[in-house]
Amino acid sequence: MNKMIKLDQFLKLVGIAATGGQAKLMIVDGEVKVNGTVETRRGKKLEPTDQVTVNGQIFKVGDVI
């Protein structure tokens, strides 16, 4: 079974965003990259092989979910 998580949920899970609203603003403002590309969809489904970058910090999705 393939685990997936939405981008805004992931940002809350790793502690980058305190709330869903904060996560949404960070995503819409272009502060979040998925696999090196700016991602503006908060509902983007992440897979364990994806990497999320915020303010120079890199998070491997598979290490978290």
pLDDT confidence tier of residue 3, bands split at 50, 70 and 90: confident
Coil/strand/helix, residue 33: strand
Round to whole Å and give the CA distance between 3 and 32.
21
CA angle at 45 for the pair 4 and 53, rounded to the nearest 5°: 100
Beta strands 37-38; 57-60: pairing state: unpaired
The domains of the chain, with CATH numbers, are 5-63 (3.10.290.10)
Contact 3, 62 (CB under 8 A): no
Q: What is the pLDDT of residues 7-62, one digit of tens each?
A: 999 999 999 999 999 999 999 999 999 999 999 999 999 999 999 999 999 999 99
The 3-state DSSP class for residue 59 equals strand
The whole model's pTM is what?
0.93
Q: Of residues 38 and 65, which shows the higher confidence score?
A: 38
